[in-house]
Amino acid sequence: MGPLILGNNVTIYLEPDSRAETDRLFAALKVGGKVEYELTEMPFGGYWGSLIDRYGNEWMFSCTAK
């Protein structure tokens, strides 16, 4: 695989069914990676965060369950 070229990448979006599952997945994927935005309550009512895993893949999480 060659170098990452801006504009030539993908963000994987996950919307787990529960906040506990969102926390679990986020914690597992952030090991060895870089958190861009910690999971947090958003003004629109969702639970949202994003990270780049140890392989350079971008992940975005959103959970609307309380």
Q: Can you name the residues that pair with 48 across neighbouring β-strands? A: 40, 62
Spatial distance between the Cα atoms of 12 and 63, rounded to a whole number of angstroms = 14
pLDDT value for 6: 65
pLDDT value for 31: 97
Domain spans of the chain, in order of start? 11-63
Whole-model pTM: value is: 0.84
- pLDDT tens, per residue, the chain with 66 residues: 677 666 667 899 999 999 999 999 999 999 999 999 999 999 888 999 999 999 889 999 999 987
Spatial distance between the Cα atoms of 66 and 64, rounded to a whole number of angstroms = 6
pLDDT value for 8: 65
For 11-63, CATH gives 3.10.180.10
